[in-house]
A and B are shown apart, each in its own frame.
Chain A
Amino acid sequence: MSRWRFIIPLAVFALLVVVLAIGIEQSPEKDLIPSPLIGKPAPDFSLPSLTDPGQRVSSAQLRGHWYLFNVWGTWCGSCRMEHPMLLQIKHSGLIPLVGLDWKDDRGDALSFLKEKGDPYESIAVDQDGSEAIMWGVYGAPETFLVNPQGIVVYKFIGPITEQAWAQQILPRLPMSQAPAAAAGS
């Protein structure tokens, strides 16, 4: 019995190694903080439209269909990087993009969209940054996938790449599953 006692500190040490290894392994993802909004209703909002300041963009109008809620700003370099991909998503016709222009200059935003193209179905303006807090945004771009019941299904942090679109977002869309189901039957 006492002959094997030296095993105990070794076992504790091995356990510690495993725990720390897991910690290091996962540490690159510590920048991506999981959103507590997943599976919960998206925040209700009614904000002025960027393109038509007389109009409002509201969560009530968006009920009943899927949409991607994309937080961006012209001051945000990664958002400019992401922009061509957003245009590609628009052209796919699979899901509408709703923009939240976060603490931006209206003139800058409009001229940017005019020059590079406007991928959004509608764009809400968050002038003072309070709407971004409601969505738990901590950096742009961030993109939320919202279902017809208004529930946040998924949050993507950072610029959407072609790979992220194909692997993270597309498989979560019901329309991308429909053809496969049809082919199966």
Chain B
Amino acid sequence: MTARLYAIVIATLVAALLLGSSAAYAIAPEQMPTPQLEARYLALIHGFRCMQCQDESLADSPVNLAADMRRQIRDMLLAGKSDQQIRDFMVSRYGYFILFKPPFVPKTAWLWLTPGVLLLVGVIAALRVIRQRAAIAATDLEDNDLTDV
């Protein structure tokens, strides 16, 4: 199984080298009828996780399931569905895990808010340290002034 996967990956790389050009994709993107649809298609497939390989996007994954899901997305685009409808469909089947960028919902709020909270704590701590140092420096200055006089 793993050996076969390696063989596929190596074959893909060799093919990409031989073909020279479109080496940016592990998978040749399916053609869409208009450039607008093509752009939306590419943006969508880069935003979904391949559920079998998990750290790859649907755009980059060579597995069969990813190909099936790309076809599903293409069919929905051709049927006139909006990007949001397609994202909602995917989430309704596979959960938020399929989105590389998690949405802001109660369950994920901590994920989005924690960096802000940590930043705030850091800024407050930094301000306090700066003020303390300024106060020490000020008293030092006063002392110097006194000795100077």
Contacts and interface: CB of A to CB of B under 8 A. Distances in A.
A36 B95 contact: yes
Nearest to B68: A129
B94 A36 contact: yes
Given A135-B93, A136-B93, A138-B94, A33 B64 contact: no
A57 B50 CA distance: 29
B69 A133 contact: yes
Interface in B68-123: 68-69, 71-72, 91-95, 97
Q: In this complex, which of A37, A129, A132, A133 has the most chain B Cβ atoms within 10 angstroms of its Cβ?
A: A133
Nearest to A35: B95
Interface in A65-111: 103
Interface in B33-77: 51-52, 64-65, 68-69, 71-72
Contacts, number: 40
A43 B51 CA distance: 19
A132 B51 CA distance: 13
Q: In this complex, which of B64, B92, B94 has the most chain A Cβ atoms within 10 angstroms of its Cβ?
A: B94
Given A33-B51, A33-B97, A138 B92 contact: no
Nearest to B94: A136
Interface of B: 51-52, 64-65, 68-69, 71-72, 91-95, 97
Contact of A129 (B51, B65, B91, B94): B65
Interface residues of A, number: 16
Given A130-B72, A133-B72, A36 B64 contact: no
Interface string A32-47: 0111110000000000
B17 to A, nearest CB: 30
A128 B65 CA distance: 10
Contacts of A134: 93
A35 B93 CA distance: 7
A33 B95 contact: yes
A165 B91 CA distance: 28
15 contacts: A33-B94, A33-B97, A37-B93, A103-B64, A128-B68, A128-B71, A129-B64, A130-B71, A132-B65, A132-B68, A133-B68, A133-B69, A134-B93, A136-B93, A138-B52
Contacts of A35: 95
Q: In this complex, which of B69, B92, B93, B95 has the most chain A Cβ atoms within 10 angstroms of its Cβ?
A: B93
Contacts of B92: 36
A105 to B, nearest CB: 14
A128 B91 CA distance: 21
Nearest to A130: B72
Nearest to A138: B51
Nearest to A128: B68
A132 B91 CA distance: 14
